[in-house]
Amino acid sequence: MAEPLTMAMPDLQLGLSPAQPLVRFNLRCREADVAACSEALRLDLPTRPCTSAENGGRSALWLGPDEWLILTSDQDDPSSHLTATMGDRFFSWVDIRARQVGLVLTGPESARRLNTGCPLDLDLKAFPIGMCTRTVFAKAEIVLWRREVQSFHIEVWRSFAPYLKGMLAAAG
């Protein structure tokens, strides 16, 4: 049986819990096709580094000049519409829901706790709300997305989730 990923640390007013159920896709496309992908997804893909965009229950996180992480609800799979809209344009659309899981770290100590294993400056001025990036926490690759002042959404490969939880607990 898998170890639960929920962790509460009341003494530090810090919590780690699974993110709401989401479908995850990796999208890659040429710069010339960003507008067409945006239209098909009904979401303006961010084109500035380390930014995110949201529309309804759908989110896009910029991971590189031609790469985005698309998060959406189970009932909102845009795959067929994207494929039909893009026609013969070259793009890559990969379902990665089995590969990774989302976790939410919240509380006044969330940035400090993340900084024990993440080399980024997570001060609000350096890493504002909406900012996202691919980085590491200890030895695990993660996608880190600041959702609120004291709340981070963390995407991590499913097999590394217990390791991430353990490292966050040990960081205290």
What pLDDT is stored for residue 4 in this prediction? 57
What pLDDT is stored for residue 131 in this prediction? 98
What pLDDT is stored for residue 1 in this prediction? 40
Which residue reads 């919590």 in tokens? 15
Please report how the helices 34-41 and 79-86 are oriented relative to each other, as an axis angle in degrees rounded to 10. 140
Per run of 10 residues, the mean pLDDT along the chain (length 172 residues) is: 55 81 96 96 96 95 97 88 92 95 96 96 98 97 98 97 93 76
What pLDDT is stored for residue 74 in this prediction? 76
Tokens of 166: 């353990």
Q: How much is the pTM?
A: 0.91
What pLDDT is stored for residue 73 in this prediction? 87
Contacts of 35 (CB under 8 A, 6+ apart): none
Query: 32-39: which pairs have CB atoms within 8 A and are 24 or more residues apart?
Result: 33/86, 33/89, 33/90, 33/91, 36/85, 36/86, 36/89, 37/82, 37/86, 37/91, 39/85
The structural domains of the chain, ordered by start, are 7-20+98-170 (3.30.1360.120), 23-95 (3.30.70.1520)
